[in-house]
Amino acid sequence: MRPRWRKVMHDLMDNTARTLLVVFSIAVGVFSIGVIAGAYEILQSDMGASYASNRPANIDLRMADFDEDVLQSIRNRKDIEATEGRRVFNVRVRVPGSGKWSTLDLVAFDDFEANQINLLLPIEGKSAPEKKEVILERDALDDLHDVKPGDPLEFEMPDGSIKTLPMVGIVQDPATGAGDFLASPFGYITRSTLPFFDQPEEFNRVYAAVTTGGDDERHIHEVVNDLKDRLEKNGITVIRTRISLTHEHPLTDTVNAVLGVLLTLGVLIVFLSSSLIANTMNALLNQHLRHIGVIKLIGGRRRQVLVMYIVLILGFSALALLISVPLGGQGAYGLALFISDQLNFNLLGYRIVPLAFTLQVAVGLIVPLVAGMFPVRNGSKITILKALSGELGRGEGSSGRGAAKVQLPWFDRIQIRFTRMLGKRGIHIPRLFIISMRNTFRRKSRLLLTLFTLTMGGAIFIAVFNVRVTLHDYINAIGHYFRADVTLDLDYPYRVSEVEQYAVQVPGVERVEGWQFISAELLYPDETAADNINIFAPPAESELISPILIAGRWMQSEDVRKLVISEAVLHLFPDLKPGRPISMKVDGKVEEWEVIGIFKFVGHEGMLGYAPLEYISKVNNLPNQSMSYRVVTEQHDRLSQDKTAELLDRFFREHGFSVRKAESGLATMDIAVESLDTLVVFLFIMAVLTAIVGSMGLTGTMGMNVLERTREIGILRAIGADDRAVMRTVIAEGILIGMISFGLAVIFSVPITYLLSRIVSLAVFESPITTVFTYSGYLIWLGLVLVLSAIACILPARNAARLTIREVLAYE
């Protein structure tokens, strides 16, 4: 091996701490890129393919009860390839002896073996139940803990009695309810089991797949609207319609947007690690100036020096790639597996993603080269005289020639004046602290790179906390649409006064409101269908809803054919404003309604509207009656709500009411918050990675600073400074850098918070939301940056304190 390559090997191996610092800084950035890019590619290919493999229904019709003849008429349509009729109803279930009830949507199949739509994937036990048996979707096990095939389950009947059925199997249903975070978990029975639950052996749900155009949203809408018109003309009530594409999971856009945010943070981590590489290479070349001078003195050429240090950088990169590429592949699959598990679909198996692998290798090689090229080029061009005298990067603040004309750097001049001013006022600043402050600004380029790394890490860390509070604040605001403590849904309309009379007998209940709703179709000007809309009808003066209006006004009791609509309508009608008419098909008739207001909501929940109960009750021909009630209780915490919901359910069943479900108001909100917290965890992981890179940068900087001041430390030791004084000097310098970075992080966190909040809100809610700032993120980062700064300085400070006076004065 030639001497120059032997030197490169020594540079890699001799200073293990420095090598590990550089290698891990590169590896963190490459790892984060590999994880996000790999997960993105895996989900892009597997999400749609897995969803399509389960033959998802393009059309979901929720209807009033209908028989086999109606189902057959749908099957006979040429534009429908496959049709399944099912009955879906809500029950309460529990493990015997547990005392805790859970809500379950039971789906009754006509024939499990002949099923062609929304296929069930067997996991454990039977995949098709027999009469008086039930199988569960795997998500139901989150509430029904420790249930295994063969174990009994207790079900509450409409009259309040309890019956037991064996649970004989566990399946996965990736298609039914996909994209609906608020849906109850599913259980499955045969139609022959329906009498056991006092349910008629009729259907109330149609799942259908179109013959052609399964990925054409407009075509599916046309089929749905024509089908709905024909059914309503035959006296069949269609309550709600939903559509989905064959090869696109309903949450594809949301997942892609979230991964895009994480990828952006991953790219930023790479740039942060590149600043650490530039710092390290600059310091390394400063240490190697005499080496370079000797190489050139004995005939070494500039190109040879340049190649040597490029190979050194590539050595750092190769070691980093050995660590980050395998871990990145595992992390990518792990992240994709976690997301697929949350969204209830399956991956097609572990594999190496060529794009992610190529991207990791390219980033791991190119970014360090670009970051280190500038100091390497400067070092290779230095003259022999300057190299042997160690002049690279020196002379900051000097002017002219000779020592007589040397001018102190600007910071030193300010520091001297400030110290003298305080001294005149009797304020004494410890001399070691003054030395720490001077050393902090000694290498300004290195300081700037270190501050950039630590500042951006802190800014992102703070921004993630702000985004978390922003999302939770919006969810709480959305919760004002569901301010009732308990929602009581009945299978049939009952008089409001009668329900009120019974409800107030339940302990803790203060008052009750009856709500209604209607389903309609929004129409384009040419009267073709645009989308379905569900219109809720609370009393106009209800205090149980506090909407987030962005335009117009709220409804009033005298409003006729007027509605307040969610801002999702602007995707279809961008120019729609309050006061303008909109065409709708209501109860089979085309009507013009006036839009009086537009409110914010979650875009994925579909098109929603509100109209006054006083008018909708006339449309439904249900004066003073309702099937859905909002109950206000004395206590508003989740435990009290759950208890009151339990009491209401039991009390109304005992008195002959046909109860569909009684659910606490906070239950829905808690599900939404859990979904958001999953996203925040991803963001928090990326924030921690940036903080780690920043602390690594500070550790490297302090190590370089201590090494360059070896002789200075020796002089301090020679004039009486003990180990603690030397360590305090180094730690004070690190903490000062940390405090400066904190101040900058506070400033930069503001635009990053706004940007991150907007991106995430558009991905999750399909709408920008108001950004909220919290003190917790700032306080946590302040404590964290002080701790990181102290920890980053401990090793360099200990190394400095251990040096003997003879060693430091003999240091070359």
Tell me what pLDDT residue 450 has: 74
Q: Judge whether 468 and 597 are in contact, CB under 8 Å.
A: no
Residue 265 has pLDDT above 60, yes or no: yes
The answer on pLDDT for 791 being more than 60 is: yes
Q: Give 180 or 531, the one with higher predicted confidence.
A: 531
* Residue 3 clears pLDDT 80, i.e. is over it: no
Distance CA 51, CA 61 (A): 20
Percent of the chain with pLDDT over 70: 82
Average pLDDT over residues 375-392: 69
Q: What pLDDT, on the 0 to 100 scale, is given for residue 417?
A: 67
- Highest mean predicted confidence (pLDDT) among 333-347, 411-425, 599-613: 333-347
- Of 714 and 336, which is predicted with more confidence? 336
The confidence score (pLDDT) of residue 168 equals 94
Average pLDDT for the chain: 81
Q: How far is CA 182 from CA 196, 662, 672, 722, in A?
A: 27, 15, 7, 65
**Per-residue confidence (pLDDT) for residue 797, from 0 to 100:** 64
What is the mean pLDDT of the segment spanning 267-296?
A: 72
Q: Tell me the Cα Rg of the chain.
A: 34
The predicted-structure confidence for 532-548, as pLDDT tens digits, reads as follows 888 999 998 888 888 88
Alpha-carbon distances of 414 from 213, 393, 429, 434, 717, rounded to whole Å: 74, 22, 15, 12, 27
**DSSP for 643-707?**
HHHHHHHHHHHHTT--EEEEEEHHHHHHHHHHHHHHHHHHHHHHHHHHHHHHHHHHHHHHHHHHH
Provide mean pLDDT across the span 511-529: 86
DSSP 183: P
45 in Cβ contact with 353 (< 8 Å): no
Does the pLDDT of residue 780 top 50, yes or no? yes
Return the domain boundaries, the chain.
Answer: 56-243, 443-481+671-812, 486-634
**pLDDT above 80: residue 315:** yes
The stretch 554-579 carries a mean pLDDT of 90
What pLDDT score does 136 carry?
94
Question: What digits encode the pLDDT tens for the residues 632-646?
Answer: 998 888 888 888 988
pLDDT over 90 (residue 309): no
The answer to whether residue 691 scores a pLDDT higher than 60 is yes
Give the model's pLDDT for residue 402. Answer: 44
- The 10s digit of each residue's pLDDT in 428-484 is 555 555 555 666 666 666 677 777 778 888 888 898 889 888 888 887 777 777 778
Helices (H), 565-664: 613-619, 638-654
What is the H or E stretch that residue 578 is in?
Answer: none
Least confidently predicted of 195-204, 248-257, 725-734: 725-734
Specify the DSSP element, H or E, that contains 507.
none
Does 355 score more than 70 pLDDT?
A: yes
Confidence of residue 397 (pLDDT cuts 50, 70, 90): very low
CA distance 105 to 197: 13
CA 29 centroid distance within chain: 20
Higher-confidence residue of 610 and 98: namely 610
Of 628 and 700, the structure prediction assigns the larger pLDDT to 628
| Average pLDDT rounded to a whole number, residues 112-120 | 89
Residues 215-219 have a mean pLDDT of 87
Return the minimum-mean-pLDDT range out of 89-93, 380-384, 557-561.
380-384
pTM to 2 decimal places: 0.70
Q: Which of 62-71, 590-599, 791-800 has the lowest mean pLDDT?
A: 791-800
Q: Answer whether residue 511 shows pLDDT above 80.
A: yes
At 810 the pLDDT is 55
| pLDDT at res. 800 | 60
pLDDT tens, position by position, 36-87 = 888 888 988 888 888 888 899 999 888 888 888 888 999 889 999 999 999 9
More confident residue, 619 or 732: 619
Cα separation values, 234 from 195, 429, 585, 759, Å:
27, 92, 16, 47
Rounded to whole angstroms, how far apart are CA atoms 515 and 510?
17
Where is pLDDT greater, at 512 or 762? Answer: 512
Report pLDDT for 401: 44
Nearest in space to 654 (alpha carbons), one of 487, 497, 484, 505: 505
Mean pLDDT of 360-377: 81
Q: String of b and e for 480-506 (b: at least 16 CB within 10 Å)?
A: ebbebbbbbebeebbebeebbebbeeb
pLDDT reported for residue 733: 75
To 10 degrees, what angle do helices 665-708 and 775-802 make? 30
Q: In whole angstroms, what separates CA 801 from the centre of its chain?
A: 45
pLDDT by residue (tens digit) across 399-409? 444 444 445 55
Give the dihedral sign, CA 749/754/755/757: positive
More confident residue, 672 or 91: 91
> What confidence score (pLDDT) does residue 582 get?
92
Instruction: Give burial (CB, 10 Å; 0-12/13-18/19+) of 412.
Output: middle
